[in-house]
């Protein structure tokens, strides 16, 4: 189980006063692709190691799918496992979701249902894009 910290809860990212397009894209990529924040580093070493190991395993599964060593069912299984892990970590490290237009930076505290919906939708879109890219390259049977 996650350790309860006595420090203040995490704060949502703030928009820079003069944000460039590249700065905005970088901030969006970090927010959506990495569920961790600095709070993650204060967790027990075993929990951090498990998280890094799971991230490596999921990435390796996608790479193995690209070289036809594993099938789509294995990728979907690993991706579902990653999604469960991501909901747990985001509830601790980034417990907020965007409100308003997708390009905005208005955040609000997220309930568990919000996090599950966000992670499921985001990972479904990422998975579809990856599978379509593999199919377009002729790497799926």
pLDDT at position 88:
93
| 81 token code pair | 């496992």
Confidence class of residue 12 from pLDDT cuts 50, 70 and 90?
confident
- Measured CA to CA, the distance from residue 111 to residue 67 in angstroms comes to 39
12 versus 130: which is more confidently predicted? 130
The pTM of the full predicted model, rounded to 2 decimals, is 0.81
Q: Mean per-residue pLDDT for 71-95? A: 91
Residue 13: pLDDT band with limits 50, 70, 90 = confident
39: which residues sit within 8 A by CB, 6+ positions away? 5, 7, 10, 92, 93
| Residue 55 predicted with pLDDT over 60 | yes
- What pLDDT, on a 0 to 100 scale, did the predictor assign at position 41? 86
Give pLDDT, residue 23: 86
Beta bridge partners of 98: 107
| Residue pLDDT, tens place only, 14-48 | 766 677 889 888 888 888 889 998 888 888 898 88
Instruction: Give which of 36, 37, 28, 34 is closest to 102, Cα–Cα.
Output: 28
Quickly count: other Cβ atoms within 10 Å of residue 125's Cβ. 11
């Amino acid at each position: 189980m996650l350790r309860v910290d006595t420090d203040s809860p995490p704060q949502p990212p703030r928009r820079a006063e003069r944000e460039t397009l590249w700065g905005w894209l970088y901030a969006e990529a970090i927010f959506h692709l990495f569920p961790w924040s600095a709070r993650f580093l204060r967790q027990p070493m075993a929990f951090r190691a498990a998280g890094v190991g799971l991230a490596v395993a999921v990435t390796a599964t996608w790479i193995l799918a690209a070289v036809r060593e594993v099938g789509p069912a294995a990728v979907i299984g690993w991706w579902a496992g990653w999604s469960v892990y991501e909901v747990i970590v985001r509830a601790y490290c980034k417990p907020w979701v965007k409100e308003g237009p997708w390009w905005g930076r208005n955040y609000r505290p997220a309930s568990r249902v919000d996090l599950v919906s966000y992670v499921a939708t985001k990972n479904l879109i990422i998975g579809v894009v990856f599978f379509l890219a593999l199919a377009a390259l002729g790497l799926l049977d």
